[in-house]
Amino acid sequence: MTESQLREMICLLAKSMFDRGLTGGSTGNISARTEDGGLLVSPTGTSFGRLDPGRLSRFDANGQHIDGDAPTKEMPLHTAFYDTRSSAGAVVHLHSCHAVALSMMPDADADNFLPPLTPYGIMKLGKVKLLPFFLPGDPAMGEAVRGLAGKRSAVMLANHGPVVAGKDIEAACNAIEELEDTARLAMLTRGLSPQMLTEAEVKAVVDQFNVDWDA
């Protein structure tokens, strides 16, 4: 994919998520690797519904901002994933409502945030780590991700929103949408004793789809 095509794809996918209410206002941020090892990043204070391909923040392979508008203040989150996961080709952060709601529940599992309601969250995300609350823009969020040593492709920032790394921009967006869908199912069925996947069924999904699950 050329840089021009990647710029267009970032804006297309961001607008799709905005139009479907997955992040509102000027919330959320998105980044992707370029062919030369640099990054394209959504600018600070911008809306996913109105990103301009020509104004995306551009970083070179050394992490220097070389073109475009000033980047999101959540750059430490993005760089933490790129620095610790060699497979990361894109990172997406949303303020999706159901995931945030689930993070507020007193029984939320910090090590395995999403309940095993369907196979798809397991397949696309593995175990999602629930991190504590940080002030928006706090570099400590990035340090918390670095502390996971690349073992998780997705984290949930408590009272804030999910962050997901994927092999490319489409994979990262698909995975974070699956995270929100699973969280929505969890909230819709809360208190109704839903039939979750058994440990044996979870293991079968992990084995069949080669999911990195024990990290």
35, 120, 180, 201: the active-site residue = 120
Residues pairing with 43 in the sheet: 71
Residue 48 CB burial class (10 angstroms; 0-12, 13-18, ≥19):
buried
Q: Where are the alpha helices (DSSP H) in 34-128?
A: 75-84, 97-103, 119-125
Q: Identify whether 120 is a catalytic site residue.
A: yes
Strands 161-166 and 154-157, sheet pairing = antiparallel
3, 8, 35, 74: the active-site residue = 74
Q: Identify whether 74 is a catalytic site residue.
A: yes
Count CB atoms within 10 A of the CB of residue 67.
13
- Of the candidates 72, 67, 81, which has an alpha carbon nearest to the alpha carbon of residue 163? 81
**Torsion 10-42-76-68 (CA) sign:** positive
Could you list the active site residues?
74, 120
